[in-house]
Amino acid sequence: GAAVLVPLCSVRGRPSLLYTLRCRRLSGPHSGDVSFPGGKREPSDSDAVATALRETREELGLELGEGSVWGMLRSLPDRQGMLVVPVVANLGPLENLKLSPNPEEVAETFTLPLAHLLREENQGYTHFRTGGRYGYTLPVFLHGPHRVWGLTAIITELTLELLAPERYRRKTHVPGRHLTAPPRRA
Protein backbone atom coordinates (compact mmCIF):
# COMPACT_ATOMS: atom_id res chain seq x y z
CA GLY A 1 0.00 0.00 0.00
CA ALA A 2 0.89 3.65 0.24
CA ALA A 3 0.44 6.58 2.61
CA VAL A 4 0.23 10.34 2.33
CA LEU A 5 0.70 13.00 4.97
CA VAL A 6 -2.14 15.52 5.28
CA PRO A 7 -0.12 18.49 6.57
CA LEU A 8 -2.13 20.89 8.67
CA CYS A 9 -0.29 24.09 9.47
CA SER A 10 -1.00 27.69 10.29
CA VAL A 11 -0.04 30.57 8.01
CA ARG A 12 -0.01 33.92 9.82
CA GLY A 13 -2.34 32.31 12.35
CA ARG A 14 -4.80 30.89 9.80
CA PRO A 15 -5.31 27.11 9.79
CA SER A 16 -4.23 25.82 6.37
CA LEU A 17 -3.31 22.70 4.42
CA LEU A 18 0.06 22.36 2.72
CA TYR A 19 0.11 20.92 -0.81
CA THR A 20 2.88 19.99 -3.20
CA LEU A 21 2.95 20.20 -6.96
CA ARG A 22 4.68 17.11 -8.33
CA CYS A 23 7.43 17.59 -10.89
CA ARG A 24 6.21 17.15 -14.42
CA ARG A 25 9.37 15.28 -15.25
CA LEU A 26 8.57 12.55 -12.76
CA SER A 27 7.46 9.52 -14.65
CA GLY A 28 4.22 7.97 -13.59
CA PRO A 29 0.54 8.82 -13.45
CA HIS A 30 0.81 11.55 -10.83
CA SER A 31 3.41 13.83 -12.44
CA GLY A 32 2.32 17.45 -12.58
CA ASP A 33 -0.48 16.82 -10.08
CA VAL A 34 -1.21 18.63 -6.86
CA SER A 35 -0.69 16.16 -4.06
CA PHE A 36 0.17 15.63 -0.44
CA PRO A 37 3.63 14.29 0.43
CA GLY A 38 3.56 10.52 0.26
CA GLY A 39 4.29 7.34 -1.61
CA LYS A 40 4.56 3.59 -1.51
CA ARG A 41 5.33 1.78 1.69
CA GLU A 42 8.89 0.44 1.83
CA PRO A 43 9.88 -2.73 3.67
CA SER A 44 11.70 -0.65 6.31
CA ASP A 45 8.49 1.28 7.16
CA SER A 46 6.84 -0.15 10.27
CA ASP A 47 3.40 1.22 9.32
CA ALA A 48 1.51 3.85 7.32
CA VAL A 49 2.59 6.61 9.70
CA ALA A 50 6.25 5.68 9.16
CA THR A 51 5.72 5.77 5.37
CA ALA A 52 4.06 9.20 5.49
CA LEU A 53 6.77 10.65 7.77
CA ARG A 54 9.61 9.19 5.65
CA GLU A 55 8.10 10.50 2.41
CA THR A 56 7.60 13.95 3.97
CA ARG A 57 11.27 13.97 4.97
CA GLU A 58 12.36 12.90 1.45
CA GLU A 59 10.07 15.31 -0.39
CA LEU A 60 10.09 18.39 1.85
CA GLY A 61 13.11 17.94 4.10
CA LEU A 62 10.84 18.04 7.17
CA GLU A 63 11.70 15.87 10.15
CA LEU A 64 8.40 15.27 11.90
CA GLY A 65 8.03 13.21 15.03
CA GLU A 66 5.18 10.82 15.74
CA GLY A 67 3.96 13.48 18.19
CA SER A 68 2.79 15.69 15.34
CA VAL A 69 0.52 12.92 13.99
CA TRP A 70 -3.15 13.25 14.93
CA GLY A 71 -4.39 10.05 13.35
CA MET A 72 -5.41 8.36 10.14
CA LEU A 73 -8.37 8.78 7.84
CA ARG A 74 -9.88 5.77 6.10
CA SER A 75 -7.84 4.31 3.25
CA LEU A 76 -8.86 5.15 -0.29
CA PRO A 77 -7.91 3.58 -3.62
CA ASP A 78 -5.84 5.67 -6.04
CA ARG A 79 -6.32 5.54 -9.82
CA GLN A 80 -4.29 2.33 -9.99
CA GLY A 81 -6.38 0.70 -7.27
CA MET A 82 -3.58 0.87 -4.67
CA LEU A 83 -4.88 1.66 -1.18
CA VAL A 84 -3.60 4.94 0.21
CA VAL A 85 -3.76 5.75 3.94
CA PRO A 86 -4.06 9.48 4.71
CA VAL A 87 -2.13 10.39 7.88
CA VAL A 88 -3.19 13.72 9.40
CA ALA A 89 -0.39 15.67 11.10
CA ASN A 90 -0.08 19.13 12.58
CA LEU A 91 3.09 20.92 11.46
CA GLY A 92 2.45 24.06 13.51
CA PRO A 93 3.17 27.56 12.17
CA LEU A 94 4.54 27.48 8.62
CA GLU A 95 6.77 30.44 9.51
CA ASN A 96 8.73 28.16 11.89
CA LEU A 97 9.27 25.39 9.34
CA LYS A 98 12.30 25.11 7.13
CA LEU A 99 10.93 23.53 3.97
CA SER A 100 13.54 22.30 1.54
CA PRO A 101 11.58 20.64 -1.27
CA ASN A 102 13.40 17.94 -3.22
CA PRO A 103 13.64 19.38 -6.76
CA GLU A 104 13.56 15.84 -8.20
CA GLU A 105 10.05 15.29 -6.84
CA VAL A 106 8.46 18.60 -5.91
CA ALA A 107 8.08 21.53 -8.31
CA GLU A 108 6.42 23.83 -5.78
CA THR A 109 4.68 23.91 -2.40
CA PHE A 110 1.67 26.08 -1.56
CA THR A 111 -0.91 26.38 1.21
CA LEU A 112 -4.66 26.90 1.13
CA PRO A 113 -6.45 28.23 4.23
CA LEU A 114 -9.24 25.99 5.52
CA ALA A 115 -11.48 29.07 5.24
CA HIS A 116 -10.77 29.16 1.47
CA LEU A 117 -11.48 25.45 1.07
CA LEU A 118 -14.73 25.76 3.05
CA ARG A 119 -16.15 28.52 0.85
CA GLU A 120 -18.74 27.13 -1.55
CA GLU A 121 -17.54 29.27 -4.44
CA ASN A 122 -14.17 27.49 -4.26
CA GLN A 123 -15.72 24.02 -4.39
CA GLY A 124 -16.45 22.38 -7.72
CA TYR A 125 -17.33 18.91 -8.91
CA THR A 126 -16.20 16.72 -11.75
CA HIS A 127 -18.61 14.13 -13.06
CA PHE A 128 -17.28 10.87 -14.41
CA ARG A 129 -19.08 8.18 -16.33
CA THR A 130 -17.65 4.72 -16.28
CA GLY A 131 -18.75 2.40 -19.06
CA GLY A 132 -21.94 4.45 -19.40
CA ARG A 133 -23.62 2.51 -16.60
CA TYR A 134 -23.19 4.77 -13.62
CA GLY A 135 -21.52 8.05 -13.03
CA TYR A 136 -19.83 9.43 -10.00
CA THR A 137 -18.84 12.83 -8.80
CA LEU A 138 -15.50 13.93 -7.42
CA PRO A 139 -14.67 17.18 -5.65
CA VAL A 140 -12.39 19.85 -7.08
CA PHE A 141 -11.09 22.82 -5.10
CA LEU A 142 -10.70 25.95 -7.20
CA HIS A 143 -9.25 29.47 -7.15
CA GLY A 144 -6.00 28.61 -5.36
CA PRO A 145 -2.60 28.73 -7.08
CA HIS A 146 -3.40 25.29 -8.57
CA ARG A 147 -6.56 23.23 -8.92
CA VAL A 148 -6.84 20.46 -6.32
CA TRP A 149 -8.52 17.38 -7.76
CA GLY A 150 -8.42 13.59 -7.81
CA LEU A 151 -7.47 11.63 -4.71
CA THR A 152 -5.93 14.74 -3.12
CA ALA A 153 -9.30 16.52 -3.34
CA ILE A 154 -11.13 13.52 -1.83
CA ILE A 155 -8.65 13.46 1.08
CA THR A 156 -9.03 17.26 1.44
CA GLU A 157 -12.78 16.76 1.63
CA LEU A 158 -12.50 14.06 4.32
CA THR A 159 -10.16 16.35 6.28
CA LEU A 160 -12.64 19.25 6.09
CA GLU A 161 -15.44 16.95 7.28
CA LEU A 162 -13.25 15.94 10.21
CA LEU A 163 -12.15 19.47 11.17
CA ALA A 164 -15.30 21.43 10.40
CA PRO A 165 -18.21 18.97 10.45
CA GLU A 166 -20.77 21.70 11.01
CA ARG A 167 -19.44 23.71 8.05
CA TYR A 168 -18.61 21.09 5.47
CA ARG A 169 -21.10 18.69 3.94
CA ARG A 170 -19.79 16.29 1.36
CA LYS A 171 -21.86 16.37 -1.80
CA THR A 172 -19.93 13.71 -3.63
CA HIS A 173 -20.53 10.03 -3.90
CA VAL A 174 -17.94 7.56 -5.04
CA PRO A 175 -19.28 4.04 -5.49
CA GLY A 176 -17.98 1.47 -3.08
CA ARG A 177 -16.30 4.09 -0.99
CA HIS A 178 -17.71 2.74 2.26
CA LEU A 179 -17.14 -0.90 1.42
CA THR A 180 -14.00 -2.68 2.38
CA ALA A 181 -12.50 -4.64 -0.48
CA PRO A 182 -12.51 -8.42 -0.09
CA PRO A 183 -9.07 -9.92 0.55
CA ARG A 184 -7.18 -10.53 -2.68
CA ARG A 185 -6.73 -14.12 -3.66
CA ALA A 186 -3.10 -15.04 -3.99
The C-alpha atoms of residue 15 and residue 90 are separated, in whole angstroms, by 10
The full set of domain ranges for the chain reads 2-164
Question: What pLDDT does residue 179 have?
Answer: 36
The continuous run of DSSP H or E covering 141 comes out as strand 134-141
Dihedral in degrees, nearest 10, Cα atoms 63, 55, 67, 170: 130
The C-alpha atoms of residue 118 and residue 36 are separated, in whole angstroms, by 18
Assign 184 a pLDDT band (cuts: 50, 70, 90): low
- The model's pLDDT over 32-71, given as tens digits with 9 standing for 90+, comes to 789 999 999 999 999 999 999 999 999 999 999 999 999 9
- The model's pLDDT over 114-131, given as tens digits with 9 standing for 90+, comes to 999 999 999 998 877 767
CATH T-level topology, domain 2-164:
Nucleoside Triphosphate Pyrophosphohydrolase (3.90.79)
Mean pLDDT rounded to a whole number for the chain: 87
Contact 117, 17 (CB under 8 A): yes
